[in-house]
Every structure is written in C-alpha cells, then in structure tokens.
Structure 1
Amino acid sequence: MSNVFMAVKKWFCMGLLTLASALGVVSLTIAQDNASDPYQQIEQVTVELLETIAKHKDAYPENEKAYFNSLEGLLLGRIDFAFIARNVMGNYYKQATPEQRARFAATFRSGLVETYGRGLIGYENQEIVLVNVGQVAEGQRRLTVKQEIRSAETVYPLEYSMARKKTGQWMVVNVVINGINLGKTFRNQFVQSAQRAGGDLEQVINGWSSKSL
C-alpha cells in the first residue's frame, strides 16, 4: 500500500472520529428525521453513531461482527454505497457483468463500513466547525457540507458531497479530507488493481476487502 493511500486512510478515520466527537453535542430534538435537510441529516446520523459506539465499545473487539452489522444498518440509507462503488469501478463498470457489479458494491460497502467502524470505535474529543450552513434552494440536487477539523496541532478541511435523490433523501456520495478526494483515490486503487490483474475483474473483486481501504 502506497504512502499516499496510508495517509488517506489516516485522514479518513480521523475525519470520522472528529465528526462524531464534535457533533455529538447536538440535540436529539433537532436531530430527528430530517432527511430533506442535508445538515440536519448529518447531525442525526452522528447522534445515532455515538449511541452505536457507546453500545458496543466496552465489548469490542469480541463483538466486532455485531458492531459492524449495526453500523451498516445505520448507514445504508445515508451513504449512497452503490453510487460510490460504481464511480470507483470507473470504466470497468461497463465491462463488468450485472453480477460482478452487485458483488463489488456489496464488497465495497462491507469494506468501507469496517474501516469506518474501526476508526470510530476509539474516537477522542476534538473540535470540528461547520463553516457553510445555509438554506437549501428548492429543486437543488447537489451541495457540499464543509467543516474544519481542529486539533491542537493543525486544522484539516473536511467536505461531504451530498446528492438529493428523487425521494427527497439527501445522501453522502463522496468525502474530501484535507484535499484528498476519497472517491478518486479508491477509483485509482481499483484501476491499479485491475491493471495488475490484467483486467481480471473477478480477481480484483475477490481481493477487495477492508484491508484494501
């Protein structure tokens, strides 16, 4: 694994940790089901994440499978895993069979949830500031929620790219941490893996796991 990708993984986990830590003070009253508001949607997910972490933290890692299952159930309607997985496959998506596409989407989702979960389980308190709260225009389909992750040593920018589905639900479709675009990074990794495998998508999909992320 390259040094660049190791840095991405570090920043990815740090972003998740600080997001959960900093937004954990939001009110449960505010953070009810506000799927039509992307800012409140993130607040709601964060509150539920903290509850999930608190429930599983003491017994971790013995309860790792149950913990990951809880996280996946929580995130399925909030992160558009299928959209992200399709983008990660890039031009190889057209070459893949429907079965391969579905299998990679499921494998990618599981791997991302495991990376997400391992990062969150040991989070520490840090400060994060939402820097662009605004009104969502009628008919608006895309926006970026921007934050700053502040520690004693430095400040990292964190951006969530969000898309509104036909149902009105806002979902996360990409994350940029400290200038590193995770969607593009994962896509580059997929392309490199496919090239090493001589275009054998079965080999790429079978070799993709949380250890790849």
Structure 2
Amino acid sequence: MELPMNWTISWIMRIVKFCYAPLALAFYLAATAAVAQTGTAPPAPATLPAPQLATGSETPEEIEIIPSAHAVVQQVTDQMLEVISRNRETMSDNPQKFYTEVQAVLDPVVDFRFIARSVMGSFGRSATAEQRQRFTDTFKNGLVMTYARGMAAFDDQDITVVPPGAGTSNHCTVGVEQEVRGPDGLNKVSYTMRREKLRRTDKHCVGEWKLINVTINGVNLGKTFRSQFAQAMQQELKKKNGDKNTQVALLLDTVIDNWSATN
C-alpha cells in the first residue's frame, strides 16, 4: 500500500514506535556521519558465524552455510531487546550511549546505502557521488536516532518470527514475517532481506543477509520515503517557478540538507 503524498515522515515514525519499536530496522528502510560516539565503546553484540566465501568448487549444500534470513531477524530482535534492557534506566541521562548501541546492532544487517539510493529514486542518477553519500549518511542518522527514541517507550510485547515457507532457501531475496502482539493488538511486520552474489555469473547467493525494506501493517516504508523525497524535489522546483533550467544538483542539495526523519 502506497501512502498519500501529504503523509509526513513523523507520522510513519509514530506507526513504527507503537507497532514495532524494538527492532528499529525500518530502515528503513537507509547518518550525516554515523551517530557521534561518546565515552567508551558499547559491548560488541553477539554475531552470527561469518559466511564462508565461495571458491567456485563448492556444491550448493556447501555454499548454503550462511544463517537464514529468519535467523538473522531473530538474532537482531534479541540483540535489540538486550540493548533496551541494558539502557532502560540510563537512556534519559545518556541517550548518546543508547543511540550508539542501537547503531552497532543495525549497521551489520541494514543496507542503508541500498535503501537511501532507492529513496532517491530516479533523482539519484543525477546526483553526484558526494550527494549520494551525504544523503545516505543523513538518512541513516535520522533513522537510527528516531527509532532509538521510539524504542525508549517500548513495553514488553510478544514477538514471533513466522517460520519460513518451503522452497525459500535458495532465494536471493526473502520476506521475513513477524507478528508483534501488544496492548494495541496484533501488528504484522514484513522484512525484505537480500543477499548478493559474489560474482554475477554465480548461480548461488552467498553474501550476508541485509535488510532492504520494511512493511508495517501493509505500509511500505520504502515506497513512502521515496514518495516523500520526490515530493520534496517537486516543491523545490515550484519555488523556482518551474524553471526547467534549474540544475537538479542544486535542488538535491536543498532536499538533502533539509531531510529529517523527524519532520
């Protein structure tokens, strides 16, 4: 379901906060630089076994040793719950430590670069490498901080990863369904997880699973952010009285500078 153009990002964040704050992956679905770190580094989260890279001689059974997408989502869920528990009493006094720990969990499993490029849509082709990186950093920073704040209000809920269906083990893109039961009832979250081939000619995908989109109760956050970006670009063009000679690069700079997950 694609949302009307006049929806704001802050409204989407309310959905995430009340429907599924704990995992905070909805990226979105995509920081200026990463969230500034203060104090000592947070404890490193437990990690899944590193994937074994293909050499070209492995059988499908030997290549398929990477943890499943469902296992990755389950582990990240557990890690986020630990972060909440560890910071529950101190997050108001030291929010930066909380943000840093949230980012440490999300960084290995969220493809912020892919998501940010998707949000920019066709405008990304007109952007410079510096603009694309700057938007990725800005997009990431806003999401990490907004979701971290949303999680601060999280109360215990029953979170269940729905078992995978048959025949998905060899897919490069997999949807992972999750059910979250809380005071407001049942909420459904769908994560789009993807892994890439090491080589374009490979028949099997052996890269690590990365989150590239989230849908919450039918609301596709990737499409919503993309509509938001396109709307912002159109608004900037109108400010220039629709002058087709206006350089897209200048419009992109304004939209990127003003982009915020809290507006």
Structure 2 length-normalised TM: 0.69
State the Cα distance separating 1:45 from its structure 2 match: 1.1
State the Cα distance separating 1:14 from its structure 2 match: 2.7
Q: Is the 8 A contact 1:18 1:149 kept in 2?
A: no
Q: Is the 8 A contact 2:177 2:189 kept in 1?
A: yes
Q: Secondary structure at the match of 1:176?
A: strand
Unpaired runs of 5+ residues, structure 1, are: 21-30
Change (3 A) 1:141 1:201: same
Higher relative contact order (CA 8 A, sep 6+): 2
Aligned residues: 202
Task: Indicate the residue corresponding to 1:144 in structure 2.
Answer: 175
Q: Is the 8 A contact 2:13 2:147 kept in 1?
A: no
Q: Secondary structure at the match of 1:210?
A: coil
The CA distance in 1 between the partners of 2:80 and 2:95, in whole Å, is: 15
1:103 aligns with 2:134: yes
Task: Indicate the residue corresponding to 2:41 in structure 1.
Answer: none
The CA distance in 2 between the partners of 1:13 and 1:152, in whole Å, is: 13
State the Cα distance separating 1:104 from its structure 2 match: 0.3
Q: Hey, which of these two has a bigger chunk of helix by percent?
A: 1
The CA distance in 1 between the partners of 2:184 and 2:124, in whole Å, is: 41
Change (3 A) 1:18 1:66: closer
The CA distance in 1 between the partners of 2:162 and 2:72, in whole Å, is: 16
1:123 aligns with 2:174: no
Counterpart AA for 1:207 = N
The CA distance in 2 between the partners of 1:5 and 1:153, in whole Å, is: 21
Higher radius of gyration, 1 or 2: 2
The CA distance in 1 between the partners of 2:94 and 2:100, in whole Å, is: 10
Task: Indicate the residue corresponding to 2:89 in structure 1.
Answer: 58
The CA distance in 1 between the partners of 2:123 and 2:23, in whole Å, is: 33
Percent of aligned positions that are identical: 36
From 6, 13, 16, give the equivalent of 2:17: 13
State the Cα distance separating 1:32 from its structure 2 match: 5.8
Structure 1 length-normalised TM: 0.83
Alignment RMSD (CA, Å)? 2.4
